[in-house]
Amino acid sequence: MRMRPTLSWTPAEDLPPGTTDPEPVADALDTGGVLVLSGAGISTESGIPDYRGEGGSLSRHVPMTYQDFTADPRARRRYWARSHLGWRTFGRARPNAGHRAVAAFARHGLLTGVITQNVDGLHQAAGSEDVVELHGSLDRVVCLSCGASSPRRVLAQRLEEANPGFEPVAAGINPDGDADLTDEQVGDFRVVPCTVCGGILKPDVVFFGEAVPPRRVEQCRALVRESASLLVLGSSLTVMSGLRFVRQAAQDGKPVLIVNRDPTRGDRHALTRVALPLGPTLTTVAERLGIPVDGRPPAPLDHPLRGA
């Protein structure tokens, strides 16, 4: 029986309340030197659900663990059937206003970098460069035996050829690109091996129960050290992979600002948490700073957040 990963936390009653004032975020960006740490919440407006928010996928879905994937051929069949179907939807997702605002901030020299916990590639699609993908990316596949890497689109074509007529209707899509299918819908889905050595193929992402590569963690820690402040966008910070950078920034005396509608595990370390939707909030902040998003001109001078 699959065990559910420990993926939740209970907010303490003494957590500071959220605010609806994005001015501190605008002030931090105006100063510059901001490092962005993004989570699943920034992609919900692109049609990809988050894990823990209202209607989050964890209410119906147990994510694949590294231990299950490597030990159980049936788990791998189930994963690849669900992921293959989910990829069709996942691959069609497009950046939203939040992703585009982050790219605009970077173009104007306000950011030192972007760390994302997401595996959807939407920051890069919006124009952000040098994004550190903390948990990897679904658009790459790696062999667990020989380490060969290949594009996901190549595997998708191979899986199409190995499973003609595989067209089940999924109940939903999850942040990891995994579609909700029953065992009956998975059926006898055929998994294909590595073309180099015949080994087991795995998406180039960090599964639950798997460690983030140490060099990637150190790269992120260096970005925190080099930044003046940390801006968390759309992450509950439930798991340590992202929370450790919030703690590092706070310990170094650097302001931590969070934009997330629900309380997060990092709130006690933050200067403020803005409890507003990400896309509209970041667009408003961009207007406050006179930065066009998607080629739109900044708001007029009498915009309520622009001030005198």
* Residue 135 designated active-site: yes
Please tell me the predicted confidence (pLDDT) of residue 297. 44
122 is in an annotated binding site: no
51 is in an annotated binding site: yes
pLDDT along the chain (308 residues), means of 10: 50 79 97 97 88 48 84 94 85 91 97 96 94 95 97 95 89 74 90 97 93 96 98 94 97 98 94 96 96 61 30
Select which of 123, 135, 269, 303 is catalytic. 135
Who's near 24: CB < 8 A, 6+ residues apart?
Answer: 257, 271, 272, 274
236 is in an annotated binding site: yes
150 is in an annotated binding site: no
Enter the pTM of the model.
0.87
Please tell me the predicted confidence (pLDDT) of residue 54. 53
145 is in an annotated binding site: no
223 is in an annotated binding site: no
Identify the CATH assignment for 23-288 out of 3.40.50.1220, 3.10.310.30, 3.40.190.10, 1.25.40.80.
Answer: 3.40.50.1220
Return the domain boundaries, the chain. 23-288
